[in-house]
Amino acid sequence: MYAQMVETGSKGVRDLESMSDQERAFQERVDADIKIEAKNWMPEAYRKTLIRQISQHAHSEIVGMLPEGNWVTRAPSLKRKLQLMAKIQDEAGHGLYLYSAMETLGADRDEEVQKMHEGKAKYSSIFNYPTLNWADMGTIGWLVDGAAIVNQVPLQRTSYGPYARAMIRVCKEESFHQRQGYEILLHMMTHGNEAQKAMVQDSINRFWWPVLMMFGPSDANSPNSAQSMAWKIKRHSNDELRQRFIDQTIPQLQILGCTVPDPDLKYNEETGHWEFGDIEWSEFYEVLKGNGPCNKERVAQRKKAIDEGAWVREAAVAYAKKKQQRNAA
């Protein structure tokens, strides 16, 4: 999930009776699955929560380019290079679609990006892990994008119109990302040598638990979930999405002929679900606090790009003004 632990500023969900007329009309509209649009009245907390959630989602797309950018110069064939370049480009594009949706709420992109650079705004914890071998490009596509898709598919029906429409576009374009990732791994497992197979297993070992953490803490520890669900900017609980992801992923893992580093993983015939071991949440909270393996490098790299690009953006504005004056003269 690209948006984790989004603060809603609310301690509990209020019932319709205790709301003002405006709030009630808004909630009834949401309950009736009528989209909220930019010009509609909305509670301030809804607007702020959405800005936090959409910007976090957008930051994740942008920071998510970096672990892949680490290998795009070393892609092992022309085909793989083209696929990876196209995927990274889509991520920049998806970040932009999302910022665009966020700006309809009156937020300013540059200000929100600035918050991320100052460590005040989050992005998905997963991008603070390093990419250490080529198989990581496959694992990111298969597991990381796979987890993101499980989250994003329901968000196509989210209550805020511009966000829902951005999600529809993102989901449509992203359909190839997970497949290309899985195909990288499958090809290495079926056509590769022993070293390549070892790379795949090593990659899955490193990414498995951090990917499960992408869905956020257990429902019991998600104080903001209820309000977000009532507003329909979150449509399923963290645990529900995590279980859905695991159930769909394990059969794919078996086809690869790989394992995950979880001795407790087993199929429950009665429930039809895969049961898994305890997630090490202290690691998740440490990464969120900025103490993951790559937090500092990732933020520094984004900040450097924007800071060093300042003279370029200023020049473009100065040139545009000169041109306007010349045309007016």
Partner 1 sequence: MADWTLFEVFVRSKHGLNHKHVGSVHAADAEMAIENARELYTRRSEGVSIWVVPSTAITATASDEKEALFDPADDKVYRHASFYELPDEVGHM
Partner 2 sequence: MTRYDDLTELLLQLGDSAMVQAQRLCELVGGAPALEEEVALMNVGLDLVGQARNWLEYAAERINDGRTADDLVFLRDSSDYCNLLLVELPNGDFGVTIAKQFLFDSWHYAMLQSLSGSSDERIAAVATKSFKEVTYHLRRSSEWVKRLGDGTDESHQRMQAAIDQVWHYSFEFSMPTEHLAALEAEGVFPAASTVHERWSETVKAVLSEATLTQPEAAARNYLSGREGLHTESLGYILAEMQFLPRAYPDANW
State the residues that interact with partner 2 by CB under 8 A.
62, 65-66, 68-69, 72-78, 80-82, 85-86, 88-89, 92-93, 95-96, 99, 134, 184, 187-188, 191-193, 195-196, 301-302, 304-306, 308-320, 322
Q: For the chain, give the number of residues.
A: 329
Q: What letter would DSSP give residue 129?
A: S
Nearest to 66 by CA among 4, 123, 120: 123
Q: In this structure, what token pair is assigned to residue 3?
A: 């948006």
DSSP 3-state of 160: strand
156 binds, among partner 2, partner 1, none (CB under 5 to 8 A by kind): none
Nearest to 178 by CA among 137, 128, 207: 137
- Total residues in contact with partner 1, by rule CB under 8 A: 26
Contact letters (x/-) for partner 1, 306-325, by CB under 8 A? ----x--xx-xxxxx--xx-
Cβ nearer to partner 2, comparing 156 with 196: 196
40 binds, among partner 1, partner 2, none (CB under 5 to 8 A by kind): partner 1
The CA distance from 92 to 58, in Å, is: 9
Interface pick for partner 1 out of 9, 76, 89, 296 (rule CB under 8 A): 89
User: Can you say whether the dihedral through the CA atoms of 324, 326, 327, 329 is positive or negative?
Assistant: positive
Secondary structure (DSSP) of 228-283: HHHTTSS-S-HHHHHHHHHHHHHHHHHHHT---S-TT-EEETTTTEEE-----HHH
The CA distance from 292 to 273, in Å, is: 31
Cβ nearer to partner 1, comparing 173 with 283: 173
Cβ nearer to partner 2, comparing 220 with 328: 328
Among 61-69, 74-82, 98-106, 192-200, the segment contacting partner 1 (CB under 8 A): 98-106
Cβ nearer to partner 1, comparing 293 with 309: 309
- The distance of closest approach from Cβ of residue 14 to partner 1 in the complex, given in angstroms and rounded to an integer, is 22
The site for partner 1 (CB under 8 A) is made up of: 37, 39-41, 89-90, 93, 96-97, 100-101, 103, 109-110, 166, 173, 310, 313-314, 316-320, 323-324
